[in-house]
Structure 1
Amino acid sequence: MKVPSTLPVTVSREVERLLLEGAACAIGVSGGKDSQACALAVDAYLDRIGHTGPRILVHSDLGRVEWADSLPVCEKLADHLGYELVVVRRQAGDMLSRWQGRREANLARYRDLSCVKLILPWSTPSMRFCTSELKTSVITSALKKRFPSIPIVNVTGVRREESAARSKMPVWAPMQKLERRNLAGVSWNAIIDATKPAVLGAIRDSALELHEAYTKYGTSRVSCAYCIMSSERDLQAAASCPDNAALYRAMVELECTSTFAFQGDKWLADVAPHLLTQDALARVRAAKQAADQRKAVEARIPQHLLYVPGWPTSVP
């Protein structure tokens, strides 16, 4: 039985107006605690204001990099709320395929002399194509096809308490990728002012269970099993889950073939070396030596040949 959530939402006049006019409300869910609590809080809010538009949950499945429990948590949440769960995926391949394909594309660019240095395959905190390409683009495309004739409010569980960057995020913003001619598309950070205890309390009150990444393996957050933003402790927790072992080995293999560590100078291979064969460990050692050699060679490139806007600026 659905119990109305008491977790408050933060809302703007613009978002409330769209919802009162019957806009579609699509709540993004990952399986993590914040998206769980956000869905519960937004559902209760929509009931209170008499929202009559369509409501759905949306989960972007990132493939092999996902925790095995992520989709089941989203499915249970959808059943609890009585919502349809729309699962979307990148047609060109999952997150691991994107990293592998990026390595091949970057090698081709290097061979063609269209870049100065070899480029890493991984996404980074400042280059999060993992989010923009495999979540935002895929979700917005699916929502526009599903709701072609009404405004769309795309809801996320972002909270200001999570990080310095998120503390500066707005309650809502126009979302260009969702806008259509004469139809609004906006993003809404509905629980942006919520605290972690309030989030956990909302889930507990609903009698829903937290993702096993928290309860069984002790992670502090749920995203990809091995995330570019993860702490070392969370990476170790992910490696302790047997479901993630094959992914771990595949990602370490990409470290070896690319000679780029997963997180800057921090090698994923060092997180759980006991999961690797002796041959793989030897490849890791060789990759680290090759990485040092690559950096030493790149340091010898004359300054005037390095990339700047408008590159190339001279002929070598």
Structure 2
Amino acid sequence: MKSIASIALVDDELRNDAPVAIGVSGGKDSQAAALATFRYLDQIGHSGPRILVHSDLGVVEWDDSLPTCERLAQHLGVELLVVRRNAGDLMERWEARWRSSIERYEQLSTVTLVPCWSTPSMRFCTSELKTHVIRAALKRRYGGRLVVNVTGVRREESAARSKSSVADREAAHPIINWRPIVDWTVQDVFSAIDTSGLAPHPAYRDFGMSRVSCRFCIMSNIADLTAATIQPESHDLFRRMVALEIASSFAFQGARWLGDVAPQLLNAATSRGLAEAKVKAAERARFEKFITPEMLYVKGWPTRMLTDSEADILALTRQAVSGIFGFSSSHLDRAGIHERYSELMADKAASDARKRKVAIHAA
């Protein structure tokens, strides 16, 4: 097995027998990272606590993802801690996000409709359903003790990950994030798994997937999406996700509609609904183009009142979009827009004043 990467930041804590938590998804990289990390810990005489942690994302997961993690834990002779988001799984999060988007739009708490899906630049699927949940579980288990958190991130995976460091210390949590196989190739990964006597997730060699995460991932290429649709276990999820594309008029991957990947899995009514959703999407985009960049949502929105002409633009856009979707929107004319912005500005000023007061008292 290829050697792993480590630095003094990690090794100093391991010599003090810091707890080691290895995040495992069922994918090849986390599986290899766990195997390599355990070998290294044994070599250096680490005798602190070790656990595997799996964050279950619910119905979007492959059937064999959790069993793969369970077999890995059994092989290593270690506990597998399974954690889940209390507020629901990832599919429920996407569906709830669309309901929230409608409510916010109707009340003019956002300028444009907010997509329901996570995106490569807004991966709340990872932050909310994995990172935050795992952080909370580690805090409950180890209190304020520093934990070495292991992930299977590799630089070869993407341009973004090519910049990954071997390890770093989190400012907000007593956690060191360690990426021991950061320099491994995909061949190194599969070799480590095969040498151990374990098998990788069947999605790789049986299904023909290049990566294993959710059955349908926002990062998947068309080949992986197509391969996923071939598996009968994914069909119910596929139809549920296409139903959300239809309801929201937002394609799963920006310009790529999941429903187009396997139209043979859709009935006639659903196919018509998908075609209608694409028309709605084009109409929504056509009207939202009238909104100028200066009017769009930014952090701290709203930062100012709109001019009369801007209010007219927003009112006409809201009338059109609300009509397309059948929303019960308020604030649909110039006066209503100005009234709502005035209310939002007043609420924001009051909130900022409360924050300043708290900060003064804390100081």
Q: Structure 2 length normalisation: TM-score?
A: 0.82
Q: Deviations over 1:107-140 (max 9, x none)?
A: 1111111111111000000000110000000001
- Partner residue of 2:59 out of 64, 85, 94: 64
Match of 1:128 in 2: 123
- CA change 1:88–1:177 in 2 (3 A) is farther
- Partner residue of 2:90 out of 80, 95, 98: 95
- Partner residue of 2:305 out of 283, 303, 314: 314
In 2, the alpha carbon distance for the partners of 1:65 and 1:257 equals 19
In 2, the alpha carbon distance for the partners of 1:99 and 1:177 equals 27
What SS class does the counterpart of residue 124 from structure 1 fall into? coil
Match of 1:297 in 2: 287
What SS class does the counterpart of residue 238 from structure 1 fall into? helix
What SS class does the counterpart of residue 178 from structure 1 fall into? coil
Please tell me whether residue 205 in structure 1 is matched to residue 182 in structure 2. Answer: no
Match of 2:226 in 1: 236
In 1, the alpha carbon distance for the partners of 2:119 and 2:294 equals 26
Match of 1:264 in 2: 254
In 2, the alpha carbon distance for the partners of 1:56 and 1:310 equals 41
Q: CA deviation at 1:175?
A: 2.3
Partner letter of residue 33 of structure 1?
K
- CA change 1:303–1:44 in 2 (3 A) is closer
- Partner residue of 2:210 out of 193, 197, 220: 220
Q: CA deviation at 1:311?
A: 3.3
What does 1:170-209 align with in structure 2 at a 5 Å threshold? 170-179=165-174, 185-209=175-199
Match of 1:182 in 2: none
Partner letter of residue 288 of structure 2?
E
Q: Which runs of 5+ in 2 are unaligned?
A: 312-363
In 1, the alpha carbon distance for the partners of 2:50 and 2:23 equals 11
In 2, the alpha carbon distance for the partners of 1:229 and 1:145 equals 31
What SS class does the counterpart of residue 183 from structure 2 fall into? coil
Match of 2:162 in 1: 167
Kept in 2, the 8 Å contact 1:116–1:306? The answer is yes
What does 1:137-176 align with in structure 2 at a 5 Å threshold? 137-148=132-143, 150-176=145-171
What SS class does the counterpart of residue 146 from structure 1 fall into? helix
Match of 2:266 in 1: 276
In 2, the alpha carbon distance for the partners of 1:123 and 1:53 equals 37
Q: How many residues align?
A: 306
In 2, the alpha carbon distance for the partners of 1:176 and 1:123 equals 26
Please tell me whether residue 44 in structure 1 is matched to residue 39 in structure 2. Answer: yes
In 2, the alpha carbon distance for the partners of 1:74 and 1:159 equals 19
- CA change 1:280–1:79 in 2 (3 A) is same
In 2, the alpha carbon distance for the partners of 1:44 and 1:309 equals 46
In 2, the alpha carbon distance for the partners of 1:208 and 1:194 equals 19
In 2, the alpha carbon distance for the partners of 1:173 and 1:303 equals 37
Larger Cα Rg: Structure 1 or Structure 2? Answer: 2
Kept in 2, the 8 Å contact 1:140–1:177? The answer is no
- CA-based RMSD of the aligned residues comes to 1.2
Please tell me whether residue 79 in structure 1 is matched to residue 92 in structure 2. Answer: no
In 2, the alpha carbon distance for the partners of 1:215 and 1:145 equals 37
Q: CA deviation at 1:306?
A: 2.7
Q: CA deviation at 1:90?
A: 0.2
Higher RCO (C-alpha under 8 Å, 6+ residues apart): 1
Match of 1:118 in 2: 113
Q: Which runs of 5+ in 1 are unaligned?
A: 1-5, 180-184
What SS class does the counterpart of residue 87 from structure 1 fall into? strand
Kept in 2, the 8 Å contact 1:152–1:178? The answer is no
In 1, the alpha carbon distance for the partners of 2:297 and 2:181 equals 41
Q: Structure 1 length normalisation: TM-score?
A: 0.94
Kept in 2, the 8 Å contact 1:65–1:95? The answer is yes
- Partner residue of 1:252 out of 242, 259, 277: 242
Partner letter of residue 217 of structure 1?
F
Match of 1:14 in 2: 9
In 1, the alpha carbon distance for the partners of 2:138 and 2:301 equals 38
Percentage of identical aligned residues? 54
Q: Deviations over 1:159-196 (max 9, x none)?
A: 001111101011111124532xxxxx111011101111
Q: CA deviation at 1:149?
A: 5.1
What SS class does the counterpart of residue 160 from structure 2 fall into? helix
